[in-house]
Amino acid sequence: MNRFDVIVVGAGPAGCATAIYGAQRGLRIALLETSRFPRHRPGETLHPGVEPLLQQLGVSALTNSQECLRHAGHWVHWDGPPRFQSFGQDGWRGFQINRATLDEHLLKAANHAGVEVFHPRRLHQVLFEHRRAQGVLADATPWKAHYVVDATGRNGWMQRQLGTPWLRFSPKLIARYGYCRDERLAHDRLGLFAHAQGWHWIARINRSCLHWTQLYFVEGTRHASCPRELDQLAAIGPIRGADVSWRCCHKTAGPGYFLVGDAAATLDPCASHGVIKALISGMQAASAIIDCLSGQVDEATVQAAYQAWVQTTFERDVVALRDFYHTHPYPPNWL
């Protein structure tokens, strides 16, 4: 039987952050992932605030490599004339990182920190004893741990098994995204664009590749294949979609478990800090587990504090995103 201090399910940014932060502090951690890498996800433009987090997690080499484009801000075509929105501090530059590249570097950092990484693994269920999570069943093998962390993203693997409801703050929203080949699109044609049904985002991944994300405020609207500006460009790979409805899990921590990243709370990519929130939530959960294992703090107190942090930050972000959508030329009526 495999025994660990913590089993983390899901090797995206939230799961890797949990695993690395815990392993750096001496915990024995297993990181289980169901998918083969590389994986594709929307949202590859990162705020400069991600840099100290990546440094703390041992991924600082990525931010200085040629795999990562830097930018001082982005163009916004939204409420009035187009404007360039800078990050507001001298020398602050954001990052444009291909999501598969970010996942690869985080996984390498986890290995380097001593995390035991297993993928792909087929997950069956959470193991409970005396109403407490004690591990997981994966590939018909029991994996035991003091704590289980669900970092399976919008899949909500543990939340579904627990039967915990979502608190929903929007109708169903699907972000569609893809890539296309281009070397010439002008800088002011990159950025965030409002349109009559919602918005789209265009960013350069590297010299010859653009990434786009498009969201319609009302699901069921007839969807264009890609933003109109990119119609004549050659597509790279298929168009994909992700459920980005605004929601927060009613319970993000309990006896023997924590939920992190999109498994705990989700907003659509226009909130622009999904990866940062994923990294921070993973590090917060790891810190909470360390406090619980120390025996110096009551577990219920630690978990209540973590849950309050998730809920408070999520509700604050909902208010900010609602305010921003109210300035849209065609704001959704569900606001």
Q: Is residue 266 part of a domain?
A: yes
Model confidence band, residue 63 (pLDDT cutoffs 50, 70, 90): confident
Beta strand residue intervals within 151-303, DSSP E: 166-168, 174-181, 191-195, 198-206, 209-216, 235-243, 247-249, 253-254, 257-259, 265-266
User: Which residues, 6+ apart, have CB-to-CB distance to 224 below 8 Å?
Assistant: 214
- With H, G, I as helix, E, B as strand and everything else as coil, classify residue 56: helix
Q: How far is CA 200 from the centre of its chain?
A: 19
Q: What is the C-alpha separation between 71 and 66, in angstroms, rounded?
A: 13
User: Which domain covers residue 49, as residue numbers?
Assistant: 2-66+99-168+246-326
Q: Is residue 221 part of a domain?
A: no
pLDDT in tens, 195-251: 999 999 999 888 888 999 999 998 766 666 789 889 889 999 899 988 999 999 999
In order of 14, 170, 226, 248, the CA distances from 308 in angstroms are 18, 21, 39, 12
How many domains does the chain fold into? 1
Q: Is residue 183 part of a domain?
A: no
Pick the more confident residue, 167 or 41.
167
Flag whether pLDDT at 335 surpasses 60.
yes
Flag whether pLDDT at 276 surpasses 60.
yes
pLDDT in tens, 2-33: 789 999 999 999 999 999 999 999 999 999 98
Pairing of strands 29-32, 116-118: parallel
Flag whether pLDDT at 1 surpasses 60.
no
Q: What is the C-alpha separation between 17 and 106, in angstroms, rounded?
A: 8
Flag whether pLDDT at 297 surpasses 70.
yes
Report the percentage of the chain scoring pLDDT > 90.
Answer: 64
User: Domain containing 292 — which CATH number?
Assistant: 3.50.50.60
Q: Is residue 7 part of a domain?
A: yes
- Mean pLDDT, the chain, rounded, equals 90
Question: Can you give the pLDDT at residue 221?
Answer: 61
pLDDT in tens, 90-121: 778 888 888 888 898 999 999 999 999 998 88
Q: What is the pLDDT averaged over residues 50-66?
A: 87
pLDDT in tens, 311-320: 999 999 999 9
Q: Is residue 228 part of a domain?
A: no
Lowest pLDDT segment from 77-86, 180-189, 255-264: 180-189
Flag whether pLDDT at 190 surpasses 80.
yes
pLDDT in tens, 131-189: 999 999 998 889 999 999 999 988 889 999 999 999 999 999 999 999 999 988 888 88
Q: Is residue 124 part of a domain?
A: yes
Question: Can you give the pLDDT at residue 144?
Answer: 96
Q: Is residue 297 part of a domain?
A: yes
Q: How far apart are the first and last CA of the chain?
A: 50
Question: Can you give the pLDDT at residue 39?
Answer: 67
Sign of the CA dihedral with 175 first, then 186, 321, and 50 last: positive
Residue 179's DSSP bridge partners are 211, 236
Q: Is residue 81 part of a domain?
A: no
